[in-house]
Amino acid sequence: MPTTIIGTGRALPKRIVTNNQLSERLGIYPEEILKRTGIVTRHWADPKETTASLAIEASKKALLAAGLSSEAIDLILVTTSSADMFFPSTACLVQRGLSTRNIPAFDLNASCSGFLYALSVADQYLCTDSAKHVLIASSEIKSRSINPDDAATAILFADGAGAMILSKGEGGLCKIQLGADGRAHRLIRLPAGGSLEPLSIESLARGRHYMQMAGQKLFRTAVKTMERELLKFLKSLSLSFDQIDHYIFHQANLRILEAILRRNAIPADRVHITLSRFGNTSSSTIPIALDVALEEKKIKKGERVLLSAFGGGITWGNALIDW
């Protein structure tokens, strides 16, 4: 029996940041921000909100939707590139917050592709009967690693968490493919703070603890890579673009999504986009968008859902689900 999603949930910080608010600081017209990104509002965390607290809130909603207690979970996977701390893992903090049994709990960091990497790991645990119920919580607080005066990143990135419970059942995950190319690691990164370049007065002064992004080159690489990998993935399944009922892409930038749709004649009404409301929340964009689509009852039993992501590393992934 395939891996099946039996419950989803999401959590967004209470604070909403509008384009008008960013415009005042960055000196960019709100209309220009919308044109560049497709984003109208985004959520930024307050000091008391953490990656773990958002993950816990989203996970509780997913458990409620699945009709399960936390005691039923056999494995916790947290995807994040903005963990509360280097160690212990955010997954262990989520385990504490949910009061689960002493089950395995660990983090995965594949940047914006993290959720699909976790989905693959969950699938392996379920298919080998190593777990009956797996929790994936993708949670990010990107607002704390962006330079508030850098228009390239400050208008894009946001905070939020998406969670889901997976089990085995009818329908579900048909296939998943992942990939990475570390040669392009400089396209988007957070240079300082790790063992390569420990945080110091010098690194702080140089802004090395802020996210850095090669915007135009990253855009071209994202479109080219996502299109190439999507075509390979669909070919491996003997499917065409028009045989997919729903597309849920990583919500990075509306211009990237529009380019992929235009180049492959994908109908816009089959693509679920939450970017305008929530911004780019890195690894949590796909589970958040999926939770919204399910809440709005847009996905029906028997339909094909394709999940697709591209992230720093660079990393990518595609997954097909028979709902």
- Give the active site residues: 112, 250, 280
Please say whether the beta carbons of 173 and 321 come within 8 A: yes
Helix (H, G, I), strand (E, B) or coil at 181: coil
Cα–Cα dist 81/113, whole Å? 10
Ordered DSSP codes for 219-235:
HHHHHHHHHHHHHHHHH
CB distance 315 to 282 below 8 Å: no
Q: Which amino acid is at 103?
A: I
Q: Which residues of 55-82 are buried (b: 16+ CB within 10 A; e: fewer)?
A: bbbbbbbbbebbebebebbbbbbbbbbb
293 Cβ partners below 8 Å, 6+ apart? 246, 248, 272, 299
Query: Strand, helix or coil at 20?
Result: helix
Rounded CA-CA distance 58/66 in Å is 12
